[in-house]
Amino acid sequence: MSNTKIEKLSGQMQSLYMKHSEELLFHGWHHIVFVKKKAIEFAGSINADKFIVEAAALTHDLNFIVKINSEPEEGKELRHEFLSNAGFSDEEVFKIENVVMESHTGTRNENISPEGMALSDADTLFKTLPITPIIFASKYITQNKVDIYKLAQKVTSEQNPLIEKDIYFYTDYAKARYLDWAKGNLQLWNNVVEALKDEDIKEILKIAKESKVL
């Protein structure tokens, strides 16, 4: 029964995300598939409920379909609709919603469930991949209609405290394999924040924008 629900939900999500593929340049189906796979992997390392974790991974970013540059709360009604249509009970929907909310990068803390840890580590890993600042950062900027200044401030203000609290990743598995990537990625963004204060760099960006390069 659980597999049937997941299969139905996955099919619905894939259709929905493909429909919005031109808009969701960062938080698109490629992101969802990656987060789902890694979240299940991390869940297995800490005996979290893989069924709840997979459903949460499939639906965690529906807020970006509802409204650009938004918070997870914006996707609550859409999550409930798709989960219910796929046969999830009210109790399961409640659990999934809690996992989505507690794993959110901007608000997560030390006290979250194993399922929240698995989803958080997977979602965080996508942000920390060495390819992300090269390939996907510009996609985030375009999708969410922000500039490099706002993105750099968002990344550093949210993620520096997580490193300091030792909860950038929660699972030992993720820490062992990916924490060096995370630290390198965050140092890059800290350097970006510093660089954006430089008058010569500001001038480069200004000229590039006027020339329609950016």
- What pLDDT shows up at residue 1? 74
Mean residue pLDDT across the chain:
97
Please, which pLDDT band fits residue 2 given cuts at 50, 70 and 90?
confident
- What pLDDT shows up at residue 173? 98
Cα–Cα distance between 214 and 207 in angstroms, integer?
Answer: 9
Please, which pLDDT band fits residue 195 given cuts at 50, 70 and 90?
very high
Cα–chain center distance at 64: 11
200-211: average pLDDT = 96
- Residue 207 burial (CB < 10 Å; 0-12/13-18/19+)? exposed
Contact call for residues 58 and 135 (beta carbons, < 8 A): no
Please, which pLDDT band fits residue 26 given cuts at 50, 70 and 90?
very high
> What domains are defined for the chain?
2-210 (1.10.3210.10)
pLDDT in tens, 146-193: 999 999 999 999 999 999 999 999 999 999 999 999 999 999 999 999
User: What's the 3-state SS for the chain?
Assistant: CHHHHHHHHHHHHHHHHHHCCCCCCCCCHHHHHHHHHHHHHHHHHCCCCHHHHHHHHHHCCCHHHHCCCCCHHHHHHHHHHHHHHCCCCHHHHHHHHHHHHHCCCCCCCCCCCHHHHHHHHHHHHHHHCCCHHHHHHHHHHHHHCCCHHHHHHHHHHHHHHHHHCCCCCCCHHHHHHHHHHHHHHHHHHHHHHHHCCCHHHHHHHHHHHHCCCC
- What pLDDT shows up at residue 100? 98
* Single-letter code of the amino acid located at 54: E
Please, which pLDDT band fits residue 136 given cuts at 50, 70 and 90?
very high
- What pLDDT shows up at residue 122? 98
